[in-house]
Amino acid sequence: MNAVSARRTLVTGASRPLGVELVRQSLMRGDRVYAGCRNPARVPILADLRAEFGGLELLPLDPADASSVAEVAPVLEGLTDSLDLLVIGPAEAGPHETLASAERDEHLASLTGSGLTEHLRRHAVAPLLLVRTLLPWLARGDKARVLVVSTWLGSLSGKSQGGDYATCASAAALHMYTRTLAHDLRDEGITVLLGNPGNYATTPDGPAFKVPIDDAALGLLMQAERLPKDRTGAFLDWTGAERGW
């Protein structure tokens, strides 16, 4: 990023608590931010952030909806010709997903093939395809970086108990896609980080054992900025500590 222009950052999943905080922390450090979620009009805190900071554009973007991605591309073209940082935040639930169906696919006795497949598509395949769509913008960015937010539950070496079928399998797939992507984008000069935000609190009065959400978000952004090119594809905590694959 040169000295006269702000970093151009696109954040997906901006309706989720961590997505909102990633947007906020990016704005606080002076970035020009493009915040994407399925329906920005239903996330009033994004309008509040735009009023408070300026430098924020809201995009109707659901990475798991191909028509949404296709429709937002020309909108983004009209706003910027490049991106310096792409942050793939936690995915929004599908339009027809419920807490009951999400819980169902975490347990052996109740999981369904269609549920597992949809979870994989939304949480692992969609982020990969979005990065591919946005490659022209990243290629024109200033030492562009991609931060893919995931979870320690995707670690094969750390899997020590049953359950969490949908979450663990989708996260593990996302990790492989991200690691492979990092190798493919190396020659483009684009650095990729897989980031774990830890067990973060979504409210200021969250349990003391949880990471404050602002610390988690800022830590992830800092790790993405600091990651050396020769470590592209690394899996790090928000603190910079290595996570087990």
Q: Which amino acid is residue 177, in one-letter code?
A: Y
3 domain residue, yes or no: no
175 domain residue, yes or no: yes
Q: Is the pLDDT of residue 5 over 80?
A: no
What is the per-residue pLDDT for 204?
79
245 domain residue, yes or no: no
242 domain residue, yes or no: no
Q: What is the mean pLDDT of residues 200-223?
A: 91
1 domain residue, yes or no: no
Q: Is the pLDDT of residue 109 over 60?
A: yes
Q: What is the mean pLDDT of the chain?
A: 94
Count the Cβ atoms, other than its own, within 10 Å of residue 204.
8
Q: What is the mean pLDDT of residues 175-203?
A: 95
Q: What is the mean pLDDT of residues 72-85?
A: 97
For every residue of the chain, which 3-state class applies, written as one string? Answer: CCCCCCCEEEECCCCCHHHHHHHHHHHHCCCEEEEEECCHHHCHHHHHHHHHHCCEEEEECCCCCHHHHHHHHHHHHHHCCCCCEEEECCCCCCCCCCHHHHHHCCCCCCCCHHHHHHHHHHHHHHHHHHHHHHHHHHHCCCCCEEEEECCHHHCCCCCCCCCCHHHHHHHHHHHHHHHHHHHHHHCCCCEEEEEECCCEECCCCCCCCCEEHHHHHHHHHHHHHHCCHHHCCEEEECCCCECCC
pLDDT band at 2 (very low <50, low <70, confident <90, very high): very low
52 domain residue, yes or no: yes
The CATH number that applies at residue 74 is 3.40.50.720
| Number of domains into which the chain is organized | 1
What is the per-residue pLDDT for 75?
97
What is the per-residue pLDDT for 207?
87
108 domain residue, yes or no: yes
Q: What is the mean pLDDT of residues 92-121?
A: 90
Domain membership of residue 152 as a residue range = 8-237
pLDDT band at 1 (very low <50, low <70, confident <90, very high): very low
Q: Is the pLDDT of residue 56 over 60?
A: yes
pTM of the predicted model, to two decimals? 0.95
193 domain residue, yes or no: yes
26-to-23, 145, 164, 231 alpha-carbon distances in Å: 5, 14, 31, 23
